[in-house]
Amino acid sequence: MRSLVSWALALVGLCACSSGGGSPATDAAETGGQDIPVLWGDQVDRATTPDAKETKEETGGGVQLPPGYLDPCLGDADCAEYGLKCFSEGPTDVDAVCSIPCTTGADCPESMVCKKKGEVLACLLAQYCDTCTGDSQCGEQSVCIEDKTAALFCSPKCTKDDPASCMAGSYCKKVGLGLEDYRCFPLFGACKGDGTHCTPCQYDSDCNKGHQCHENAYTHEKYCAKTCMTKGDCPKGFGCYEVSGEKDQLCTLEVDAEPVETCYKGNKEFCEPCFKDYECGSGVCYNYAVENKYFCTFACDKGQWPGEGCPPGLFCAPNHGANPDVPQVCVPPTAWGCQGFLNCLGVECQKGEKCVDGFCQPK
């Protein structure tokens, strides 16, 4: 009897939830298949809500927004009931959304930033490298951190030792004291450049005259590249080469006298993910064969510090990389790898020292 009662109550609850407001199929058809939050029954009547900013909706990413924000639109009339306007990249933009104009992030609701949409600034959801003033603007999976110039930008969580966990032109960097404090960080050190050679870009218009915004077809790294006729037109360390997909010759980094479509040579430190030796300041990108992961390290002789070995917490192991001149390198224990080492697991410093990011330093 108890099971029959429970079954009957479940049916009543199901019927109550599906009454009023239309069906999911109808709502999906009316919104063109967009993933738009649907309000059922007596939850909220958005057309009669006296103060739209008092009631918040949840986006697919768990971000709470006031009603109407980011709803799809064709014109301002579609947004008028919420006191919003329609913002788009142009007449054919299928991602036009309702929002408000802004001049700074302070003009926007929590969890939104002020950024360009078409030719104007509007309050939108933050993406990687968008400017911010606090974590709340960056959504649930991102935080607001500093770049090398102390400018603040939104950055998502990432997986240490996994280059694929971050987007092109960035890598997974330790930015805090916790075991999970790893965020995507621009290889350039900052999200925005000044348009000169080898600064980050999205479009040709981001680059100075005589430069093009070039995208590496393999890594999708984007940077301003100076156009050239001869090697003499290029900065030191760069040659003038024809580049696939570009009509002009571009100044291209030379590694061992060969052109490499990147601007980042030797800018990565110990335990930061890599693909090639030239990416690391030490010139050594180690292949951790157990998990097929690569990270920057440095050469050693058998043994452990002091002497010619490795600092505390690291061990001298055979190098599985492509450099025959470096037969042995310093690596962390397999039990916790780079992530544990950078958080000082297994690192025993001498008296008067403290561990900072895996390495012993004077207190």
DSSP 158-204: --TT-GGGS-TTEEEEE-SSSTT-EEEEETTSSS---SSTT---SSG
Query: Which of 223, 211, 215, 285 lies closest to 248 in space, CA to CA?
Result: 211
Q: Which domain holds residue 175?
A: 135-186
In a domain, 70, yes or no: yes
- Residue at a domain's end among 82, 107, 125: 125
Q: State whether 121 and 146 are in the same domain.
A: no
> In the chain, how many domains are there?
4
User: CA 246, 248, 251: angle at the middle one, nearest 5?
Assistant: 95
Distance between CA 61 and CA 240 in Å, rounded? 45
Distance between CA 57 and CA 271 in Å, rounded? 41
In a domain, 352, yes or no: yes
Q: State whether 217 and 247 are in the same domain.
A: yes
Token pair in block for residue 290 = 């157990």
Distance between CA 105 and CA 120 in Å, rounded? 14
- pLDDT of the residue at 276: 83
- The amino acid that residue 93 corresponds to is D
Q: State whether 149 and 82 are in the same domain.
A: no
Q: State whether 337 and 304 are in the same domain.
A: yes
Q: State whether 103 and 151 are in the same domain.
A: no
Q: State whether 163 and 213 are in the same domain.
A: no
- The residue length of the chain stands at 363
In a domain, 31, yes or no: no
Q: State whether 252 and 281 are in the same domain.
A: no
- pLDDT of the residue at 81: 94
In a domain, 312, yes or no: yes
In this predicted structure, which of 34-38, 109-113, 342-346 has the lowest mean pLDDT? 34-38
In a domain, 34, yes or no: no
Full-model pTM: 0.57
Q: Is the peptide bond preceding residue 311 cis, with omega within 30 degrees of 0?
A: no
Q: State whether 255 and 213 are in the same domain.
A: yes
Q: What is the C-alpha R_g of the chain?
A: 27
- pLDDT of the residue at 23: 36
> Is residue 235 within 8 Å of 197, Cβ to Cβ?
yes
Q: How far is CA 43 from CA 17, 27, 118, 199, 339, in A?
A: 11, 16, 34, 50, 45
Q: State whether 281 and 351 are in the same domain.
A: yes
- pLDDT of the residue at 38: 30
Q: State whether 239 and 311 are in the same domain.
A: no
| 81 class by beta-carbon count within 10 Å (0-12 exposed, 13-18 middle, 19+ buried) | middle
In a domain, 284, yes or no: yes
Distance between CA 100 and CA 71 in Å, rounded? 12
In a domain, 5, yes or no: no
Which H or E element spans position 27?
Answer: helix 24-30
In a domain, 195, yes or no: no
In this predicted structure, which of 11-25, 50-64, 123-137, 159-173 has the lowest mean pLDDT? 11-25
Q: State whether 120 and 174 are in the same domain.
A: no
Q: State whether 281 and 332 are in the same domain.
A: yes
Q: What is the mean pLDDT of the chain?
A: 78
| Percent of the chain scoring above 90 in pLDDT | 24
